[in-house]
Structure 1
Amino acid sequence: MSDHRADRPHEVRAFFAARAAAWDTKFPDDGPAYEAGVAELALQEGDRVLDAGCGTGRALPALRAAVGPRGTVLGADLTPEMLRAAVEAGRARHAALLLADVARLPLPDAALDAVFAAGLLSHLPDSAGGLAELARAVRPGGRLALFHPIGRAALAARKGRRITPGDLRAEPNLRPLLARAGWDLIRYEDEDARYLALAVRRG
């Protein structure tokens, strides 16, 4: 299955760099959806969580509220302009921000209890490798939430496209992809109101 971004992560960076300054104003009403998505991780006070591909950091306040002051919240993104927008929006106070490729995280094995990833999967140059890297960084029994504030059909319509059978986010494609990377898919939702795939790190 080919992906036009496969060998060009700089194209992903360039795409988001050009849109970073206006990103939050383009999607001003997504806050409650992000809060609801974060809630699905069932985080506990003191947990260690990563927002993978955090962008402007819209999930960071909810992640911090969930893990409390003793918890650890990290936000990692490939695009400096997105992280700068997160700082300008005041979200850096909720997390440590990392300029990092989520396919090569600067974290030890099993360092995290959970990962939240909004809109990440379609931007990973190597989807299987990226999911395996997230699995490496999460302890056995830890959780992964692949999230988007609208579902696949609504997102495709917004972009003037149609859903294709090869879409990695479709459950029949996603379940085996996650399994090969060390995750068990335990919940899948794809509705107009949101997309959520919740997985648990195998022991």
Structure 2
Amino acid sequence: MTREQTRHSKAWYNALSRYYDVLIDPFQGRLRRRGIDSLRASPDDRVLDVGCGTGRGIVTLEHAVESEGHVVGIDVAEQMCRLAQDRLETEDPSAVVCGDAVALPFDSDSFDVVLVSFTLELFEDDHRTTVLGELRRVLEPGGRICVISPSATASDPIPLLYARLNEVFPTLVDSRPFDVSGVLAEAGFEIVQTHVERVLVVPIELVVARCGS
């Protein structure tokens, strides 16, 4: 996202935040939970949830890593972050960070596991490449990542229609379907698992991959 797009995205998701769990999560929650299961987080893993929204994924991940692990969520929308922090049992303010995935505010090799659920499609191609570089930087070599995003396939007209709607209504239809497994492979990730299913009529791709050395 450009700086202007980031500003509009923050405003949109701040406004949507109070309705997000009712309007959006019913369509995304099941795949997010499936992605978390696919990551097979261990009790002592350090986990990052990118685009954590209202924090439902953080709660599920905290149950997976138990008390020995550590989960951090990051989101660009301040109100989403507030709702996520309120949802958590911990009062640790570092559990939810308000920030941009283009420049993650974390040290290199900080995490064993990363979840990116319905977030990477919000970025244009060049910024998506930057985000993936940041994710590789903060992941330990051999670390695991799960990306869940609308998928673009040459044989399916729905992603093309979705992309066209994004051009006409960039705020309301803010996603850009892309070849999720292909983009991750180009960014240097080793693909472990792929799964595609439709949410409403849109094909969604769930990809689990490993971070190379």
Q: Which band: TM-score by shorter chain?
A: 0.7 to 0.9
Look up the SS of the partner of 2:106 in the other structure: coil
Q: Cα gap change, 1:103/1:86 in structure 2, threshold over 3 Å: closer, same or farther?
A: same
Give 1:169's match in structure 2, choosing from 165, 178, 195: 178
1:58 to 48, 56, 59: 56
SS of match in other structure, 1:113: strand
Per-residue CA deviation, residues 52-100 of structure 1 (Å, 9 max, x unaligned), is: 0111112111101111111010000111011122234x23639800111
One-letter amino acid of the counterpart of residue 53, structure 2: G
Q: For residue 189 of structure 1, what is the aligned residue in structure 2?
A: 195
The AA in structure 1 aligned to 2:128 is: S
The TM-score with structure 1 as length reference comes to 0.80
Equivalent position to 1:42, from 23, 40, 48: 40
Query: How far, CA to CA, are the matches of 1:13 and 1:132 in structure 2?
Result: 22
Considering fraction of residues, name the structure with more helix.
2
Measured after TM superposition, the shift of residue 151 of structure 1 is: 6.8
For the 8 Å contact 1:121–1:169, the answer to whether it is kept is no
Q: Deviations over 1:106-163 (max 9, x none)?
A: 2111110010011111123500000110110000110110125x8779xx96x99446
Name the structure 2 match of 1:199: 209
Shift of the 131–94 alpha-carbon distance from structure 1 to 2, 3 Å rule, reads farther
* Counterpart AA for 2:122: H
TM-score normalised over the length of structure 2: 0.77
Superposed counterparts of 1:1-203, under 5 Å: 5-8=1-4, 9-27=6-24, 29=26, 30-88=28-86, 90-91=87-88, 93=90, 96-125=95-124, 126-148=127-149, 161-162=161-162, 169-171=178-180, 174-175=181-182, 177-192=183-198, 195-203=205-213
Task: Give yes or no for contact 1:43–1:66 (8 Å, CA) kept in 2.
Answer: yes
User: For structure 2, which runs of at least 5 residues remain unmatched after alignment?
Assistant: 165-175
| RMSD (CA atoms) | 2.8
Structure 2 CA distance, aligned partners of 1:6 and 1:64?
A: 32
Residue 73 of structure 1 contacts residue 94 of structure 1 at CA under 8 Å; is this kept in 2? no
Counterpart of 2:38 in structure 1: which amino acid?
E
In the aligned structure 2, how far is the partner of 1:117 from the partner of 1:161? 24
The 3 A distance-change label for structure 1 pair 76 and 12 is same
Contact 2:152/2:160 (8 A) holds in 1 = no
Structure 1: runs of 5 or more not aligned: none
Letter paired with 2:119: L
How many residues get paired?
189
Instruction: Give the secondary-structure state (helix, strand or coil) at the position aligned to 2:17.
Output: coil
- The one-letter amino acid paired with 2:100 is D
Q: Taking structure 1 as reference, are residues 10 and 199 closer, same or farther at Cα in structure 2, changes over 3 Å only?
A: same
